[in-house]
Structure 1
Amino acid sequence: MLGILAYSGYIWVEAHPEHNPAAPLDLRHPVGMATATKLAALKGDLQECRAVIDRSEVGYAVLDPAGEGPCMRADRTRLTDYPFSPNSPTMTCPVAAAMELWRTKSVEPFAREIFGSGLAQIEHLGVYSCRRLYGRSEGAWSEHATGNAIDIAAFVLEDGRRISVLGDWDGDPDEARFLRQVRDGACGVFATVLSPDYNDAHADHFHFDQDGRWTSLCR
């Protein structure tokens, strides 16, 4: 009996690679129990991260390294087929992988579920900024200093509706629910997720980063 149960468990895990720690990460798979651990491992393995994006058939470009010191960006990746606005920013590969998962597994499904419309654009406030946390003169460097973070301000749907963090977090019930659901969806793929629930500095955007730990901060 135990053998049958073990075999059944093996068959189930093989059929659900999103829950299998040994299965290669594919961004087209659902988010599962093993997804967060696999994503967290990508920060220390650029070759594997790019292999994941290749395997997942995500369009991207690799740019030359830039910067120096604490703002050195050895990993500069740009998604080439992503609905960013006003432009497609350069980020680290782990952030790019998480952005793809977040768009396809959270933002687009929730837009269709709540509003009956597809996603047209994701508006961002930038990725790279060579600075310390909160622009202080000393202390830890921001994940933005190496392009390992992105700030998201709003979403534009195919029906023309625009949903902004600043204007709709406490606004219309549908817009507010959408923003909270996509925030919560980000918590499954990013190491750090900060929203207006965190502090006033994030009243107008979501901050996402892949700082390498996986004690996820989700606020």
Structure 2
Amino acid sequence: MRALLLALLLLPGLALAQDPPAPRPMAPAEERPAPRPAAEPAVPAARPEPQGETPGPEAPKPQEGQPAPEPVEPAGPPVHTTLRESDFDHSACLLELTLLGADYAPQAPLTDPDQPDCGIDRPILLHAPLPGIEIPGGAPMRCDTARQLAHWLRDFVRPASALLPGQPRLMALEPGSTYQCRATVGNDGTGLSEHAFGNAFDIAAFRFDDGSRFAVEPRADKGDLAEAFQRAVRGAACLYFTTVLGPGANAAHDNHLHLDIKARRGGWRLCQ
């Protein structure tokens, strides 16, 4: 009896030791959390194009063994703008012309669409450099050109003309070229003429009150008063103008006097 009771007490423990524990139930597949996706490699974002602009072509790379191209130097300002007078200088020049009795009219700036260097920033249309000495049709030029012309006529040409036979009074200048956008003549023609900037005035003939016309022409070695007059006024012109060319200088100037105020280093003058 005692042994039977002992066996009954040990039987549940033996059962527990022999039977394995029941497995833990698994959650249904649809209730499991989805696996975390693997990280993808980062891709750099494309740089947005500027609005309203079109990307330009890339600069060509120099080939191996070739020197890199020289940088392009920026072009300078148009020549006529470098000759623009200050307000003070322009006003002083116009005042002097007025005191000399010149007949002139300020004009709008002159430019040339085909050649940006040509032009006059502050031109005047000169009708008469001195009272009683007309330029038929008028001549556009810079004020300083007109001022030098007026002083030369007053101080030398008008007194010299009084020594011609009959003592005629100078009444008009017959112009050749005035303002004109063109290259120089009589040389290689590589540079622009001073006519292109309003710095030059050509005289083809002098007209007098007796109706006579004194044409500028070759008069060398004639030994008369006409030759003396032409030589005298031409030589005196170089006191007022930095360039004086006429008959004998070259074939292009055989029929007129070219007068200009081109600025040169050291005040050098060309008188031929």
TM-score for both structures, normalised by structure 2: 0.59
User: Is 1:74 aligned with 2:121?
Assistant: yes
Q: Does the 8 A contact of 1:78 with 1:96 survive in 2?
A: no
Q: Per the alignment, in what secondary structure is the counterpart of residue 77 of structure 1?
A: strand
CA distance in 1, matches of 2:118, 2:231: 32
| Equivalent residue in structure 1 for 2:145, among 95, 102, 119 | 95
User: Is 1:154 aligned with 2:214?
Assistant: no
Assess, with a 3 A threshold, how the Cα gap between structure 1 residues 170 and 79 changes in structure 2: closer, same or farther. farther
Q: Which has the higher contact order (CA 8 A, sep 6+)?
A: 1
Q: Does the 8 A contact of 2:126 with 2:135 survive in 1?
A: no
Deviations along 1:151-185, whole A, 9 cap, x unmatched? 11111112222111126566571111111111012
Gaps of 5+ in 1: 1-41
Tell me what 2:9 maps to: none
| Equivalent residue in structure 2 for 1:50, among 94, 106, 119 | 94
Assess, with a 3 A threshold, how the Cα gap between structure 1 residues 85 and 79 changes in structure 2: closer, same or farther. closer
| Equivalent residue in structure 2 for 1:126, among 152, 159, 177 | 177
| Equivalent residue in structure 2 for 1:65, among 109, 116, 124 | 109
CA distance in 2, matches of 1:199, 1:138: 13
Measured on the aligned residues, the alpha-carbon RMSD in Å equals 2.5
Shift of 1:43: 6.5
Structure 1 window deviating more from structure 2 (132-141 vs 172-181): it is 132-141
Assess, with a 3 A threshold, how the Cα gap between structure 1 residues 153 and 168 changes in structure 2: closer, same or farther. farther
Assess, with a 3 A threshold, how the Cα gap between structure 1 residues 80 and 124 changes in structure 2: closer, same or farther. closer
Tell me what 1:163 maps to: 214
Amino acid at match of 1:215: W
Tell me what 1:202 maps to: 253
Q: Per the alignment, in what secondary structure is the counterpart of residue 177 of structure 1?
A: helix
Assess, with a 3 A threshold, how the Cα gap between structure 1 residues 110 and 200 changes in structure 2: closer, same or farther. same
Q: Per the alignment, in what secondary structure is the counterpart of residue 102 of structure 1?
A: helix
Q: Does the 8 A contact of 1:43 with 1:94 survive in 2?
A: no
User: Is 1:217 aligned with 2:270?
Assistant: yes
Q: Per the alignment, in what secondary structure is the counterpart of residue 211 of structure 2?
A: coil
Q: Per the alignment, in what secondary structure is the counterpart of residue 185 of structure 2?
A: helix
CA distance in 1, matches of 2:111, 2:186: 18
CA distance in 1, matches of 2:104, 2:118: 22
Structure 1 window deviating more from structure 2 (113-122 vs 49-58): it is 49-58
Deviations along 1:5-51, whole A, 9 cap, x unmatched? xxxxxxxxxxxxxxxxxxxxxxxxxxxxxxxxxxxxx9774343223
Structure 1 window deviating more from structure 2 (137-146 vs 123-132): it is 137-146
Q: What is the total number of aligned residue pairs between the two structures?
A: 178
Shift of 1:78: 2.0
Gaps of 5+ in 2: 1-83
More helix by share: 1
Deviations along 1:126-145, whole A, 9 cap, x unmatched? 21111121298962211011
Q: Percent sequence identity over matched residues?
A: 32
Q: Does the 8 A contact of 2:194 with 2:260 survive in 1?
A: yes
Tell me what 1:36 maps to: none
Q: Per the alignment, in what secondary structure is the counterpart of residue 156 of structure 1?
A: strand
CA distance in 2, matches of 1:165, 1:123: 10
For the pair shown, the structure with the greater C-alpha radius of gyration is: 2
CA distance in 2, matches of 1:54, 1:85: 16
